[in-house]
Structure 1
Amino acid sequence: MRLLVVDFDYFFPVPQDAEDPLAFLFSWAQFETPFYLGQAWEDRALAFLLRRLPLPQAQGWEGFWERFTFAPDAQLYYADSNALAFHPEVREGIREVVLFDAHHDAGYRPLGEEPACDDWMVYYSRQGARLRVFYPPWRDPSREPEPKVPLVRAKDPGGPVEGMFHRAFLCRSGAWVPPWADEAFFSFLEAAPLPKVALEPVEPRPFDLEALRQRAEEEAFGLWFLERLRGLS
C-alpha cells in the first residue's frame, strides 16, 4: 500500500538565501508548543506590518490534489503535527511513503522514544517502507542535513504523480505555517476528494489582524527611528 503525506508548509515559501534582505524576518524558532503554534505569530506578523510589508502567504495549493490517483476506498487523515503521519491507523500496511514537504522529516537529532514531527520517516524505514520526498520548487534540498535513513529526495517536477495511493495524510504544521494562512489550509483540506478523518483537533487559530495593524500604525514611527539610529534604513 502507498501513502501520500502532505505537509502544508510545502506551500509556505520562506527565503533560502541568507543574503535576502527579508531573510531576518523569517528567522523563526519552531517548536510544537502552544506558544509557537499561536502567540509567537503575533510578533512575527507585527515585524512585517511595522515595515508596511504584506504578510507572507501560502501559495500554489490550488489544484494540487488533481495530480494524484486514489484507490476507491482511500481516506485522508489529518492533524496539526506531522508526527501523526505514523499514527497506527495511517501506517497499517504501508510499504511506500511519498512525502511533499519543505523538510525530509527523516531525522535531524537523536531519536526519542516516540515519533516526532521531524523524524517520523525513520519509523517507516524501520518497518521496511520505501521512502521518497519531493521538495517544493522554492526549497533547495542541499540546505537540509543528510537524512538518517535511505530515501529518495528531489524537487517536485510538477504534473501528475504516477501510481495509485491507498491512503493520504495532511498536516497543517502550525509551528511553521502562520494562523493567517489557516483559511487557505482549510480550503485545501476541503478540496481533497477523499473522506476525512481528524486524528487530533485542528481548528482555525485566533488571530486579530486588524488589532495588529492598528498596533503597527501606532509603533511604526518608533521602529523607523530606531533603525535609522542603527543604520538599517
Structure 2
Amino acid sequence: MKCLLSIDWDYFIHTKKENWNSYLENDKNTVKLWYKRYIQSKAQGKDIKKFFLLSSEIIVFWNKVKEYFQFEKNTKILVSDSHALSYNIAKENNCNTVYLFDAHADLGYGGLSALDFEVNCANWLGQLLKDKIVKRAYIIYSPFTVEKPEYFKHMNSVYNIKYRRLKELGKGINVSVIHICRSGAWTPPWLDNRFYQFISASGIPYEIVNCPPRKWDTKNISFSDAIYYMMA
C-alpha cells in the first residue's frame, strides 16, 4: 500500500470570518484580497489578525504524527500553495491511499456533479476516488472545521471514505510521499513564516514546487496602493 499524507495549513487556523474564504486560487485572492481585508478592517477600527488564530497544535503535530505514520528513507515533502497538486502527486507516486489533514474534505461540493469539473483545490480528493487512482481516503478534520461528514452522504456511499481522529488511526502507516499546501486564499500571509517553520520542524527534506512568497507590509501602503487593493 502506497500512501500520500496530505496536510493543509488551514488545518491549524481558526477563523472567525468563514465567509472571507474563496475557492479561486490566484494572485488576487492569495495576496491582494488580504490587503483589501486589512484596509476594510482598519477602517472599522478592527485588527484583522484577531480574526485568525493559529493553533498551538503545530508545536506537537509532528511528534504525534510520527506515532502513527512511518516515513520511508526517501520520503520527502512537496510544498505548494494549492492543494490541487495532491492529485498529481498521488497519481505520479502510484498512491492508493490518502490521509488528509484539513479543515475541508476537498471531495467536491454540490454532490457527484462537482467531479465533472477540472481538478481544483475543492475537489481533488473526490477526483482521485472517481478516477480510481486511489482506493480509499481517510479524512482527519481540523478541530476548527465547520464541515460534517454527513455533508458528503452520497460520496460516502459511493467511495471508500473514512472520517477519523488521529488517535483512531492504526499505527505503523507507511508513508511514501507528503504534500503540504499553504492554501493562500484561506490562510493569511502574516502567518507564512510560521508555515515554513512548521515544515522545517518535520525534519524531513522538502521541495517547494509552487508556493510564491507573499509580501506582507501594511506599514508602507500608499494611497495609490490602497486604491489598487480595494479594487481586488
The residue type paired with residue 63 of structure 1 is: V
Q: Secondary structure in 1 aligned to 2:20?
A: coil
Matches within 5 A, 1:124-135: 124-125=128-129, 126-135=132-141
> Would the aligned equivalents of 2:115 and 2:127 in 1 still touch at CA under 8 Å?
no
The residue type paired with residue 118 of structure 2 is: E
| Total equivalences in the alignment | 204
Q: Distance in 1 between matches of 2:168 and 2:191?
A: 23
Give the C-alpha shift of residue 42 in structure 1.
Answer: 1.1
Q: Secondary structure in 1 aligned to 2:73?
A: coil
- Residue 227 (structure 2) aligns with: none
Q: Secondary structure in 1 aligned to 2:207?
A: strand
Alignment root-mean-square deviation, CA: 2.8
Q: Distance in 1 between matches of 2:127 and 2:181?
A: 17
Is 1:198 equivalent to 2:208 in the alignment? yes
- Residue 20 (structure 2) aligns with: 28
The residue type paired with residue 104 of structure 2 is: H
The residue type paired with residue 141 of structure 1 is: E
> Would the aligned equivalents of 2:11 and 2:103 in 1 still touch at CA under 8 Å?
yes
Give the C-alpha shift of residue 53 in structure 1.
Answer: 3.3
Matches within 5 A, 1:109-128: 109=110, 110-112=114-116, 114-125=118-129, 126-128=132-134
- Residue 41 (structure 1) aligns with: 34
Distance of aligned partners of 1:176 and 1:11 in 2 relative to their CA distance in 1, 3 Å threshold: same
- Residue 22 (structure 1) aligns with: none
- Residue 47 (structure 2) aligns with: 53
Q: As a proportion of its length, which structure holds more strand?
A: 2
TM superposition outliers: structure 1 runs of 4+ over 4 Å: 88-91, 155-162
Q: For structure 2, list consecutive stretches of 5 or more residues without a partner in the other structure.
A: 224-232
Matches within 5 A, 1:152-231: 152-157=162-167, 162-200=172-210, 202-211=211-220
- Residue 11 (structure 1) aligns with: 12
Q: Distance in 2 between matches of 1:91 and 1:32?
A: 23
The alignment's TM-score, normalised by the length of structure 2, stands at 0.76
Q: Distance in 1 between matches of 2:40 and 2:175?
A: 41
Distance of aligned partners of 1:164 and 1:81 in 2 relative to their CA distance in 1, 3 Å threshold: same
> Would the aligned equivalents of 2:4 and 2:90 in 1 still touch at CA under 8 Å?
no
Is 1:63 equivalent to 2:60 in the alignment? yes
Q: Distance in 2 between matches of 1:158 and 1:182?
A: 30
Distance of aligned partners of 1:160 and 1:52 in 2 relative to their CA distance in 1, 3 Å threshold: farther
- Residue 101 (structure 2) aligns with: 100
> Would the aligned equivalents of 2:99 and 2:139 in 1 still touch at CA under 8 Å?
yes
* Bigger CA radius of gyration: 1
Q: Distance in 2 between matches of 1:204 and 1:158?
A: 36
> Would the aligned equivalents of 1:97 and 1:130 in 2 still touch at CA under 8 Å?
yes
Q: Secondary structure in 2 aligned to 1:40?
A: helix
The residue type paired with residue 148 of structure 2 is: S
- Residue 226 (structure 2) aligns with: none
Give the C-alpha shift of residue 129 in structure 1.
Answer: 2.4
Moved more, 176-185 or 54-63: 54-63
Aligned mate of 1:145, from 147, 151, 154:
151
Deviations 1:174-232 (A, max 9, x none): 000011111111111222222212222x23301213246x99xxxxxxxxxxxxxxxxx
Q: Distance in 1 between matches of 2:140 and 2:89?
A: 24
The alignment's TM-score, normalised by the length of structure 1, stands at 0.76
Q: For structure 1, list consecutive stretches of 5 or more residues without a partner in the other structure.
A: 16-24, 216-233
Report sequence identity in percent.
25
